[in-house]
Amino acid sequence: MQDARRAAVVTGLGGWLPPRVLDNAELEQRLDTSDEWIRNRTGIRERHVVDPGLSTVDMAVEAGRCALRSAGSDVVDALVLATATPDYLCPASAPEVASRLGLGGVAAFDVNAVCSGFVYALATAAGLIAGGVAGRVLVVGSDAFTTLLDPDDRSTVPIFGDGAGAVVLRAGTADELGALGPFDLHSDGELTDLLVVPAGGAKQRRSADPRDHFLAMQGTAVFRQASARMAESSRVVLDRMGWSVGEVDRFVGHQANIRILNAVAKQLGLPPEGLVINVDRTGNTSAASIPLALTDACVAGSLHAGDRVLVSAFGAGLTWGSTALRWPDLPKVESPRVGE
């Protein structure tokens, strides 16, 4: 059970999606696929994608602004950016995000745990707060993941989308609504090749085969690992929180595809109505997935103050992790979709 020690408390939430919507009908025109196949395999009917000139930093700035407005203050002591698609290999993207948000000279750095990145970034920010290094932290997940895809690959293009989501954390006590509970984080580097962009890093800087610069994914193996690891990690967090599965009001899993979410829910014994799902309209947005799902759920009115919320993610690396909280009262949360 949680006690009244210093904790990180969610006090603001926001998200942002690129204006361009890519639906399954458009993919049917250029790939050997169909709307029916995509929906049956992934549950996705559309995703938002970046046009040329729109970057990870651009999206992070927009989501960060929304979260700061939600929190009612633009003052923070640090910014943690979760991303696997930084604007540059060097430097990190977080300092530019902080600068463009007018945050002054605050500490700002990137975390790369791919689709688990937001949970890892939350844990990092919670540690800064618990250790007294920061009183308020902006945590952003932003990925332009479609820039890593082979445009002719029918196995990856329908799955991924782009976007950004963010939360503001403040110092508080563990018995408050919004206080992040214990974290459970893991990795398995022996399975790096299940999800990898082979070229472009220090190991293989260039390749004569352009496909080496795109994401390679072993889908079946990833499905097995993701569903098993998220369920295992979720059980650990539930035990540390002192919650039974029946006490969970909402499960917010990484929005990879609907089959993985359903598989995790089945392994945990969670009812389908407890799942927060927006993958049908966003695709897999990597580190932005969880904050975007939370934002959509708040806007839709399906998250209420006091709800017991379980959060879990899985990503390349391999990495995975979970946390939990009782949802706070956030009266001001904007839609992440431009014009809504």
Which residue numbers are catalytic? 115, 254, 284
Angle between helices 219-241 and 258-268 (to 10 degrees): 40
In DSSP terms, 160 is beta-bridged to 284
Q: Which amino acid is at 18?
A: P
List the strands of the sheet with 184-187, edge to edge: 184-187, 319-326, 308-315, 250-253
Q: Where does residue 42 rank: exposed (0-12), middle (13-18), buried (19+ CB within 10 A)? A: buried
CA 3 to chain centroid, in Å, comes to 27
Q: What is the CA radius of gyration of the chain?
A: 19
**Max Cα-Cα span within the chain:** 57
Helix, strand, or coil (residue 73): coil
Non-local CB neighbours of 290 within 8 Å, separated by 6+ positions? 118, 119, 141, 165, 252, 253, 254, 255, 311, 313
Output the six-digit token pair for 165: 């989501």
Non-local CB neighbours of 144 within 8 Å, separated by 6+ positions? 50, 54, 55, 56, 59, 85, 162
